[in-house]
Structure 1
Amino acid sequence: MKAVQYREIGKGPEVVDIDVPEPGPGEIRLKVLAAGLCHSDWFLMDLPEDQYVYPLPLTLGHEGVGEVEKLGDGVDGVQVGERYAIYGPWGCGVCHACAQGKENYCPHAAEMGIAPPGLGAPGAMAEYVIVDDKRHLAPLGDLDPVESASLTDAGLTPYHAIAAARDKLTPGTTAVVIGVGGLGHLGIQILRATTAATVIAADVSDDKLELARKVGAHHTLRSDDDAVARIRELTGGEGAVAVFDFVGIQPTIDLARETIAADGFIHIVGIGGGTLPTGFFSTPYGAAVRAPYWGTRPELLEVLDLARAGAIGVHVERYGFDQAVEAYQRLHDGAVQGRAVIVP
């Protein structure tokens, strides 16, 4: 089968032919219908050799949807032919966090060698993928697979971040979204669908600001030297109740710090490598800083329900396997509008 793999440190993705995997006991093999590209893939592929800890070669793709094609021994409650989205942050399944569906915060996954598909385990950017347990499948129903694949991360991750701040986002408040890429353009839609806050979107790209307006941002502005003053002006001088930084580089984190209101929430979602010291004289009184990771299994079901209701939708650029390397380069260059998706 064809697969997109990371095979050699520093060399980027390659399209290769590999064997079709066989499901073991309790496992499910899906025929992949679509798989999304993510900046997290590049974060992993850009790691130097002394920091890269996963097996090579690694089949990429932690955003995937597929159709059940074969069941391993002992699997029940799942039928061949059914379509599912894959919940990616796999945990041990038995700890307190996992029992609540919060496998994204499982404290034992790393020590047990459990890794997400595409981010340590073989991923969905292939013709077939193995899912380790049926609890990691979310029914797709009548949702379009190509338009839904990226909801498993690009939808779930901002949904999880926004859910943690939702009680703050009452009528009359303001939320700032920094970075209108794959996650940010969905973050805007989720804010509009689930809160009453006014949404300000900031980015360095005019094309992405135009996308922000199309998906519902109330205000858009360039993330430049005037951004702090403009956000302060739009919030009556008080700042935003919540800032969601989907980039995470030092300039965007500094923008978040300078525009957050007292008792507000800063959520650093992007993995750009920036940091934010907190404490007196660094952040406003009462301001909380979080670095949320992915999302919970119940939240993925809620994200899919939002899509089913037409409240959110992914702006998709479609690519075939033979265009995967090109798609990854466009992602690396910041040229993708919304989310890039490989369609086998």
Structure 2
Amino acid sequence: MSEANGHMCAALLRGPGDLQLSSVARPVPQPGEVLLKVLAAGVCQTDVHIRHATDSRTPDGTILGHEIAGEIVELGAGVLEWTTGERVVVHPCWSCGKCRTCMAGRENECRATGGRLQPPMTPGVTTNGGMAAYVVAPARTLFPIGDLDPALAAPLTDAGLTPYHAIMSCRELLTPGSTVVVIGLGGLGNMALQILRALTASRIVAMDRSQGAMDASREWADAVLSSDETAVQSVLDMTGGYGADVVLDFVGIDATMQMAVEMIGRGGAIRVVGLSGGTYTFMARSAGNPLPRGVTIMCPYSGTYNDLSEVLALARAGAIRPIVNRFSLTDALSALDKLQAGEIQGRAVLVPGA
């Protein structure tokens, strides 16, 4: 699908469950925005969920893609801090920049969203994203990537940023001698292992049911376990019965949340990043409660602008490197199919020029 007469190819959500490659008008940057030629766009489980949702959680007519790397090709009015030709990534939280949480550096908790359950505007989720030849983005959301490979840089905006923020939310527990368990070793889980290895001296335990995902994680983990019925006891055995200090759940189903509760130690932290709809019933009592005292459970969201800056610094230093599988933009639907079928190790990335 070639560009002509101001149009471009894009992965367009026409309606619930109806994602198609379509020819759409090339966007024009408004004041405060830039136009990017997309160099790479990551493909995420969130995109799979959006594609198959039966409701309109994402507006009809939205171009998917929230992990974006690109080259600036046009500046909107008033944009003075950037020049054409610079290569950048786009932070996925398009916050207001002026509410009290944004001013405190918590842009992922922006309060100018219309309600307490609504996250900030997100490309590819609430507005047009990067699974296209071009995309517009607010200038304030851009981060320079220099000579980083765009296909590696794009996934850092979610697959790197989200686990980094989750880890930093309980960083004080990740001391030398502590134990951290990572459940689910897909794109985000694998990056979590790399970040933990780069930043901590904790014992890292990796868990998944996929042998391929487990094998791909051995470089960064001290122990790799199948997330089966023996996993909890294995963690308890290696910690003298006291449990892990931190459990990061990148799956988020009933079974993994229950595992996290049964293997966490007193005063520990559970961070549920996976969005698979799992539940855990909290008991407000001591007797019979499998959750030890002092444990915190959190569903972290994305990360701050400073978090992304630090993730990019880790990548530039060679401390982290996403595992990527490159597809052309015209193979976007195939990439989503493969991701849903569990055939992608690491991250699928669309490269429009490929």
Normalising by the smaller structure, the TM-score range is over 0.9
Matches within 5 A, 1:50-61: 52-61=56-65
The answer (yes or no) to whether the contact 1:90–1:109 under 8 Å persists in 2 is no
Residue 99 of structure 2 corresponds to residue 91 of structure 1: no
2: CA distance between counterparts of 1:283 and 1:62? 35
1:1-344 equivalent positions in 2, closer than 5 A: 1-11=8-18, 13-49=19-55, 52-110=56-114, 115-132=121-138, 134-214=139-219, 216-278=220-282, 279-280=284-285, 281-344=289-352
Deviation at 1:135, TM superposition (A): 1.5
The DSSP-based 3-state class of the residue aligned with 1:92 is: coil
1:122-167 C-alpha deviation (Å, 9 max, x unpaired): 00111100002x2200111121111111000000000000001111
CA distance in 2, matches of 1:43, 1:99: 32
Give me the TM-score of the superposition, normalised by structure 2.
0.93
Structure 1 alignment gaps of length 5 or more: none
Could you tell me which runs of 5 or more consecutive residues in structure 2 were left unpaired when the two chains were aligned.
1-7
CA contact (8 A) 1:175 1:199 kept: yes
Partners of 1:113 and 1:302 lie apart in 2 by 22
State, as a whole percentage, how many aligned pairs show the same letter: 45
Does the aligned pair in 2 maintain the 1:62–1:88 contact within 8 Å?
yes
Q: 1:113 to 1:202 in 2, by over 3 A?
A: closer
**Counterparts in 2 of 1:313 and 1:33: CA distance versus 1, 3 Å:** same
Aligned equivalents of 2:342, 2:67: Cα separation in 1: 19
CA RMSD of aligned residues (A): 1.4
Deviates most, 56-65 or 89-98: 89-98
1:175 and 1:114 mapped to 2: Cα distance? 30
Counterpart secondary structure, 2:258? helix
Deviation string 1:58-104 (CA, Å, 9 cap, x unpaired) is: 10000001110001111111000001110011122210111133221
Instruction: State the shift of 1:196 in Å.
Output: 1.3
Deviation at 1:5? Answer: 1.6
TM-score, length basis structure 1? 0.96
Instruction: Give yes or no for contact 2:257–2:280 (8 Å, CA) kept in 1.
Output: yes
1:115 partner amino acid = M
Q: What amino acid does structure 2 have at the position aligned with 1:311?
A: A
Cα deviation for residue 44 of structure 1 reads 2.3
Residue identity opposite 1:154 in structure 2: A
Instruction: For residue 172 of structure 2, give the secondary structure of its aligned residue in structure 1.
Output: helix
Is contact 2:108-2:120 (8 Å) kept? no
Contact 1:314/1:339 (CA < 8 Å) preserved in 2? yes
How far residue 114 of structure 1 moved from its aligned partner, in angstroms, is 5.5
Q: Secondary structure at the match of 1:183?
A: helix
